[in-house]
Structure 1
């Protein structure tokens, strides 16, 4: 993948995977789906609207929303326009977000309907685009765009503030794209893969590994409509998820849930035997037979998982080994 900016990444992906599904989310009993061409069309609409609001290269645009297909569309629209996206944690209270909006010096905001109140009585109250309106935005023709360079600032990401006042981390296109290329080169991800996105998109890890990397490789990304375990498992089962990025805590919760069910069904001895057998065969023959031995567990996760990717913190080696022995 030879790209230097997010704009180039977008153009290359749309050209290469135009008819493939880029993003989808559960909508009632079915999935609302957007192809790479659909995404490009909506990006152009958002860019035209941003331009009409006076946003130009170097201007900052706040992004506040739950995980949904419109979030990455907004991110790509802002960054490929040459403006700077400022993704904010939608789980924060309004009182905590307002100082960040002021500190970042944003010129406009892109928000979902759920979070419109977060920018009420701010300088960008009338300088906003609502995600639910993306499809109804007017076709304003081709937006004249500035050149975007690898050294240009693409995003300002705020720290969580758990150890003090949140700080804005400035990331260039080169910073972000180099990480994307690195992630893409580590795994054999491709158009056959379906990523399940569960981590908040404003996190740099999810932006890189769960959004930009798969998008650059023609993958499908499914957005979980809820972070509750039943919604995550339902998406895995119904949409044939093959990859998921998570933090160690999420995988610990998965494992604890598995062990709880094992104890409830009094299968502890059998489970220990299967672990021993999997470990023995791998040590002696070098073959991982966990997927066969623990087929029932794979079925709970949809039966198609190729990779569980962990990041954001150190993963307990024992937990990693246990998932490996189960064939993940």
Structure 2
């Protein structure tokens, strides 16, 4: 099992009818078994091969998280292809850049993205075919054929589920509807196997394209017409050293680059994570993070599938709390903002109940409250935070509530995990020890032991696609230069301090890490966002300045609750100045903000919600108002 698709295939063949993936449609959780996932992926892989798709070629996926997304991903790998996941939140220009740069031949997408794709298609000479994953009753633009019976059943099932939810059907009625659909599926399947095409549909898409039957010069085909016969799927010639996917970085410092991850890179990370958390087939996860990002894709999708677990896709972030209560996952990936909200929600629930508040106040009775908290979330659940630094105060607060959160550190270029806390090895404010087999060293550490984090191991990327210059800049003898600043203590535990490019050097030669200052500022209820940066005062020294976005809603609440007149700009500046002074009391003198500028608009961010510092810094010299001095 040296490739990702073979690793997942092993689970599929071992577990058969067990639920692999779950989605909630029309108020009802619907399951896709391991054997059905394998069948879907094999048919997609066969469809690719039947159209002349060659091993080593690129195929992209631009769609919402779903079972079909996962099947398309695995199908591309089965055909020997390289998967290019694309963030559905990107702008059209960014999608064009990725599809052009990676030279994708096939794009799997959904109807809502089709207009954007057709708009940029003329500038994408490599793109040959667009496959619609959720075409419903839409006909392929290649050829008009009747919708497949399987598609009719799916549409009928979804409609009935929506009606059941809308009119409050009982559980028994829902079961009867589900049974009816199953009986219909059983009756139709012998005559029309799922994925079976009409005689016209069996014709090579390439032949039909040659006859000029494509629409608007871009062949668009429904998934039902694209699927092939698994019997025609040859064994993939790919091995561990071959590229499995190209993941484009979110571009906090400019145009995104495609990190090439091999099958071996990803599998090494999966196996290490599996071992340190002792994960097995009992694993249940709730997936709500972007599936195209390496953190969720590897740790939230491929990891549970590799051990035979079950993945449930959350309906939305708004429904996350309800879905958590329904699924009760045994393993949950999240980002700091989610754990902050979880902490605040639990504390509010306790504070709103006099008895719970009283019991929680005293150590001997606190467990009566924390046991209820664990029960509501899933007793024994492993919570893992990644993507950004988790505030130690939030981690400590959750631990007091009976919720242990393990923090990890990783990046796209390292597949992604570099280090992680684990059972028996947790230290507040750190990201734990490096994974087994992964080496970490601090390059050119200063007097505080802080320097750039370099990583070497089986998880380090092969390089950036079609960009040898950028690859050479970050890879030295197998060591990847992360661009992050950190330190390692005597126990071998890693701490993250900030970014090399963001480091501020004061006139006294002191180092200030902007992220540390920002974390203090945003604790203020009146500060929605803050970006700390170095303002040049000499050729080699900087002063600590900040851009601050006030929280207008909190300001309005403040005015209303205190019976104040509407605030003008001077009032807001005075209030924020007081908040900055208060926040900076927690910091050494040289780290304190000297001046700040207020900004009304939200700071520009990547799709992973990281501030695009390069874009903000370009605007700073043109700021309309002079910075406010902090005294």
My pick for the range that moved more, 57-66 or 139-148, is 139-148
My pick for the range that moved more, 174-183 or 145-154, is 145-154
Aligned to 2:254: 164
Report the secondary structure of 1:120's partner residue. Answer: helix
Aligned residues: 311
In the TM superposition, what are the counterparts of 1:117-156 in structure 2 within 5 Å? 117-121=115-119, 122=121, 123=124, 127-132=129-134, 136=195, 137=224, 138-140=227-229, 141-156=231-246
Aligned to 2:23: 25
Task: Please point out which of 249, 261, 273 is paired with 2:361.
Answer: 273
Deviation at 1:131, TM superposition (A): 1.5
Normalised by the length of structure 2, the TM-score is 0.46
Deviations 1:121-173 (A, max 9, x none): 41477602222259643442331233111110010001111221111111111
Aligned to 1:94: 92
Task: Please point out which of 360, 369, 389 is paired with 1:293.
Answer: 369
Q: Which runs of 5+ in 2 are unaligned?
A: 136-150, 152-193, 196-223, 404-631
Aligned to 1:281: none
The answer to whether 1:193 aligns with 2:269 is: no
Task: Please point out which of 219, 226, 247 is paired with 2:335.
Answer: 247
Alpha-carbon contact 2:266-2:298 (below 8 Å) kept: yes
Alpha-carbon contact 1:21-1:220 (below 8 Å) kept: yes
Aligned to 1:285: none
In our comparison, the structure showing a higher alpha carbon Rg is: 2
Distance 2:95 2:380 in 1: 36
Distance 1:266 1:117, change over 3 A: farther
My pick for the range that moved more, 123-132 or 133-142, is 133-142
Normalised by the length of structure 1, the TM-score is 0.87
Report the secondary structure of 2:49's partner residue. Answer: helix
Deviations 1:16-57 (A, max 9, x none): 212210001001121121000000000011112222333211
In the TM superposition, what are the counterparts of 1:185-264 in structure 2 within 5 Å? 185-228=275-318, 231-264=319-352
Alpha-carbon contact 2:8-2:302 (below 8 Å) kept: no
Alpha-carbon contact 2:356-2:369 (below 8 Å) kept: no
Distance 2:323 2:237 in 1: 39
Distance 1:300 1:117 in 2: 43
Between structures 1 and 2, the one with greater helix share? 1
Q: Which has the higher contact order (CA 8 A, sep 6+)?
A: 1
Distance 1:232 1:305 in 2: 19
Aligned to 2:265: 175
Q: Which runs of 5+ in 1 are unaligned?
A: 279-288
